[in-house]
């Protein structure tokens, strides 16, 4: 029995030497993309701790020594004689983000394949924020905005860890993109007896390609005018939009537009080869107060867009109770379009499309 008690006492002393103090904190930094590794930093009192099935010695950094090297953090404990522990981890099954340059602009295209907490871009001189928390499937052009204080505030990094990470990543002076990953997506790495356990995961995209398909030319305003309009068209029970491509079509639509009048005005002189003629009929309405107005005409990416303001009478408005059928004919001084997309001026929603009557 005395030997058993002696053995238990020795084991107890050994385990007691491996119990971390209540002030011990561990910070894990997962780096994917440029390398697949977990960097682990310790802070607090020196001593022995139980770590990954063994005993790990922690010591204070000598005051006279200035730590150097990539990812080294001043103030962290020395673990097994090293400024931090490095362990290889499995690569991510899917790259969380793809950042591309957009030609002829300083904007960037961001495509998310997984959820992220933030996307940051380094242009070779400074850090810029592209996106904050967003979901998988997001694809859109982004105007980079300055991100103050480098990478500080990223994930659960301390300021010293953020500065060490920024210094390591920017050492070559090459642009890169970085995505902060949600904590829930990081592998588990449990260690007993810690006062705090911080985790941060990042994915680094080192090569930034140019995506020509992301370029959208600046909309070009075109010269246009409304050649005729009215509110008593006949034969249009519902809305009708049409590109007018010949004199015969113009005559037919003109007669329907002025079908309620005894005298039909003379036809306007239009050039169907060099101009785009668009006839817009709102359809039959039960009262007055309905109208259509063109506010702008633009070419975007080779397509013709007509900004249209549609007005309806507000409840309680006094209007004529006669049937009306608003219409207008628009001339755009540029030809060659196969369609004209009609877009609501206020909301930007598409209202319809005018095509040639075939």
State both tokens at 69: 């090297």
Q: Say how far apart CA 14 and CA 262 lie, in whole Å.
A: 110
The pLDDT tens digits of the residues spanning 52-110 come to: 889 999 999 887 666 678 999 999 999 999 999 999 999 999 999 999 999 888 899 99
- What's the mean per-residue pLDDT of the chain? 90
Half-sphere exposure of 218 (CA within 13 A, CB side): 3
Nearest CA-CA partner of 97 in 198, 182, 217, 200: 182
Supply the pLDDT for residue 18: 46
Which of 134, 106, 356, 101 is CA-nearest to residue 249? 356
120 vs 177: CA distance, rounded Å: 6
Cα separations in angstroms, 231 against 136, 157, 228, 282, 290: 49, 66, 11, 9, 8
Please write the tens of the pLDDT for every residue from 129-176. 999 988 899 998 898 999 999 999 999 999 999 999 999 999 989 999
Radius of gyration of the chain (CA): 35
pLDDT score of 10: 42
Strand order across the 220-221 sheet: 220-221, 291-300, 303-311, 339-344, 350-356, 240-244, 276-281, 327-332, 224-230
pLDDT tens per residue, range 321-344:
789 999 999 999 999 999 999 999
For 265, counting Cβ atoms within 10 Å of its Cβ (0-12 exposed, 13-18 middle, 19+ buried), the class is exposed
Q: What does the pLDDT read at residue 20?
A: 45
Comparing 217 with 160, the larger pLDDT belongs to 160
CA-CA distances (angstroms) from residue 201 to 15, 87, 180, 279?
32, 14, 6, 57
Reported residue count of the chain is 358
Predicted structure pTM score = 0.62
- pLDDT confidence of 22, banded at 50, 70, 90? low
Residue at token pair 């099935």 = 53
What percentage of the chain has pLDDT greater than the value 90?
73
241-275 pLDDT, tens digit each: 999 999 999 999 999 999 988 899 999 999 999 99
List the single range of 2-6, 194-198, 221-225, 351-355 with lowest mean pLDDT.
2-6
Which helix (H) or strand (E) covers residue 356, if one does? strand 350-356
Residues 227, 266: Cα–Cα separation, whole Å? 12
Q: Are 191 and 18 in contact (CB under 8 A)?
A: no
Stretch 5-18: mean pLDDT = 44
Instruction: Judge whether 344 and 310 are in contact, CB under 8 Å.
Output: yes
Phi/psi at 220 (5° precision): -105, 120
């Amino acid at each position: 029995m005395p030997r058993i008690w002696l053995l238990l006492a020795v084991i107890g002393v050994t385990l007691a030497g491996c119990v971390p103090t209540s002030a011990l904190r561990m910070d894990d930094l997962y780096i994917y993309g440029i390398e697949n590794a977990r960097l682990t930093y310790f802070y607090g009192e020196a001593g022995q701790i139980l770590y990954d099935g063994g005993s790990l010695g922690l010591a204070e950094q000598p005051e006279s020594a200035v730590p150097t090297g990539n990812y080294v953090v001043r103030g962290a404990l020395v673990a097994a004689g090293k400024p931090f522990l490095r362990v290889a981890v499995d690569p991510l099954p899917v790259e969380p983000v793809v950042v591309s340059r957009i030609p002829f602009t300083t904007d960037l295209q961001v495509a998310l394949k997984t959820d992220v907490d933030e996307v940051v871009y380094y242009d070779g001189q400074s850090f810029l924020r592209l996106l904050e928390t967003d979901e998988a499937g997001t694809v859109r052009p982004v105007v980079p905005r300055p991100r103050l204080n480098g990478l500080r505030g990223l994930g659960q990094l301390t300021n010293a860890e953020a500065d060490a990470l920024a210094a390591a990543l920017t050492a070559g002076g090459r642009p890169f993109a970085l995505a902060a990953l949600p904590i829930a997506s990081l592998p588990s790495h449990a260690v007993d007896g810690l006062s705090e356990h911080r985790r941060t995961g990042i994915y680094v995209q080192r090569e930034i390609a140019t995506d020509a398909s992301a370029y959208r030319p600046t909309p070009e305003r075109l010269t246009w005018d409304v050649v005729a309009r009215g509110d008593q068209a006949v034969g249009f029970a519902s809305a009708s939009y049409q590109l007018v491509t010949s004199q015969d079509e113009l005559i037919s639509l003109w007669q329907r537009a002025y079908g309620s009048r005894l005298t039909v005005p003379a036809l306007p002189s239009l050039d169907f080869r060099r101009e785009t003629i668009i006839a817009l009929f709102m359809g039959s309405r039960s009262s007055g107060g309905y109208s259509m107005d063109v506010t702008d005409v633009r070419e975007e990416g080779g397509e013709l867009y007509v900004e249209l303001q549609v007005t309806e009478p507000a409840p309680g408005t006094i209007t004529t109770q006669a049937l009306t059928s608003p219409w207008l004919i628009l001339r755009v001084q540029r030809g060659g379009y196969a369609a004209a997309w009609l877009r609501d001026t206020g909301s930007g929603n598409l209202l319809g499309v005018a095509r040639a009557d075939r």
